[in-house]
Amino acid sequence: MFWAGVFDQMAQEDYVVIDNFLKEELVAQVMDYFHQQEEKDVFQKAAIGSAGNELVINEVRGDYTYWLDQQRDLELAELFAAFDEVKSWINRLCFLSLSDYEFHLAHYPKGSFYKRHLDQFSERNNRMISMIIYLNKGWKNGDGGELRIYPENAEAMNVEPLFNRCVLFRSDTLEHEVLTAHTDRRSVTGWMLYQPSIIAAIRP
């Protein structure tokens, strides 16, 4: 079973990389929607910290985000269905009882980065699994924006942000960073949640 192998690897190493994750038609649709939102200028400078404690610190992260809403972003219904499928398989195979998720479109302009961090907050610890789907068509060595991960019992390694590559990892244990992007870096990024997010309009 495909998903059994995926989550066996994540259980052993705290992360897993899946190439050619979305169907070709769907990833093209997501890219089109991403560019549409950029043209509308709706992306906001990303902050760090949980609700009520958000700070924009350029020395820590430099990306821009557009938070997805299933009720508003109807054009991405098939993408939300893919999120639901992942959540269902995690619950079935990892026994985590996930009940929700939150995702955003992320744009790292040239020169931006995100320093080493964990995705789970001490004051809000319901993020269980981090998930990234890269939208960088034609990415090549030297473009930057790699995901550098720091496994507990292994040396740090870089994951190249290749087009339609998905990365899943433990939000509470795997420290990671985004290396400096030398060209625009785009992705769909989010988290599978243990309980519904209490965040409404602004999320970290």
Domain range list for the chain: 2-193
pLDDT, the chain, mean: 89
The answer on pLDDT for 46 being more than 90 is no
pLDDT at 57: 54
pLDDT of residue 58: 62
- For residues 132 and 125, give the distance between their C-alpha atoms in angstroms, rounded to a whole number: 19
Confidence grade of residue 48 (pLDDT, cut at 50, 70, 90): low
Integer-rounded Cα Rg, in Å, for the chain is: 16
| Predicted pLDDT at 154 | 87
- The confidence score (pLDDT) of residue 104 equals 97
Range with the largest mean pLDDT of 9-18, 80-89, 113-122 = 80-89
CB 147 within 8 A of CB 122: no
* pLDDT-based confidence at residue 94 (cuts at 50, 70, 90): confident
Q: Which residue has the tokens 């809000």?
A: 124
3-class SS at 79? helix
Q: 28-42, 49-63, 64-78, 184-198: lowest mean pLDDT where?
A: 49-63
Range 40-63 burial, b when 16+ CB lie within 10 A, else e: eeebeebbbebbeeeeeeeebbbb
**Which of 83, 52, 46, 53 is CA-nearest to residue 67?**
46
Query: What is the per-residue pLDDT for 200?
Result: 36
CATH superfamily of 2-193: q2cbj1_9rhob like domain (2.60.120.620)
pLDDT at residue 55, as a whole number: 52
Q: Which stretches does DSSP call E strand in 23-165?
A: 44-45, 64-67, 100-108, 114-117, 127-134, 147-150, 157-159
User: What is the number of residues in the chain?
Assistant: 204
Q: 3 with 11: CB under 8 angstroms?
A: no
CA distance 30 to 75: 9
Percent share of the chain, pLDDT over 70: 87
pTM of the full predicted structure?
0.90
For 132-159, write each residue's pLDDT tens digit: 999 999 999 999 999 999 998 889 999 9
Contact 82, 168 (CB under 8 A): no
Residue 144 near residue 111, CB atoms below 8 Å: no
Residue with tokens 């995100």: 114
